[in-house]
Structure 1
Amino acid sequence: MTLESTQTPDQVRAAIAEAVSSGAPIVELVDEKGATVLVPTAALGYVEIGSPEKSRVGFGTTH
């Protein structure tokens, strides 16, 4: 599962760590559109948290 979120990597890490360490049955995350995503903690094999992507800047030319 891939989730793009406006939450910082630290916020995602904290939410997952808290859910797993407390034995919560789910971890609740928010995607970039503001929708809540519920993930069963028992289904987590591993979590890869990427760094925020920088805005891309493009340059075009006209002929």
Structure 2
Amino acid sequence: MEITIGVQNLARELVVETDQSAEDLAKTVRKALGGDGVLEITDSRGRQVLVPAATIGYVEIGSGDQRPVGFNSL
């Protein structure tokens, strides 16, 4: 699952690839924005990404479907 985080006063977005489901990610984001103070996500390599909730501009949770890359013959 891919999650994109827009951070205030930062020109680039944070893009994190994680093994968590969309529902789990949404709960984690809601908890952080609701008063936890820090959005904490573990990426698919096991690294932790911490973002202060006060600086989050937006969060986009991608679909779990992976599109094929390259040419496919049908």
**TM-score normalised by length of structure 2:** 0.67
Question: Where in structure 2 are there 5+ consecutive unaligned residues?
Answer: 1-13
For 1:17 and 1:3, locate their aligned partners in 2 and report how far apart those are by CA, in whole Å. 17
Structure 1 vs Structure 2 CA RMSD = 1.9
For 2:39 and 2:29, locate their aligned partners in 1 and report how far apart those are by CA, in whole Å. 6
Question: Where in structure 1 are there 5+ consecutive unaligned residues?
Answer: none
Paired residues, number? 59
The amino acid of 1:28's aligned partner reads: E
Match of 1:28 among 40, 46, 49: 40
1:17-54 Cα deviation digits (max 9, x unpaired): 01111x12211101010111111101111101001133
Runs of 4+ in 1 over 2 A off after TM superposition: 53-60
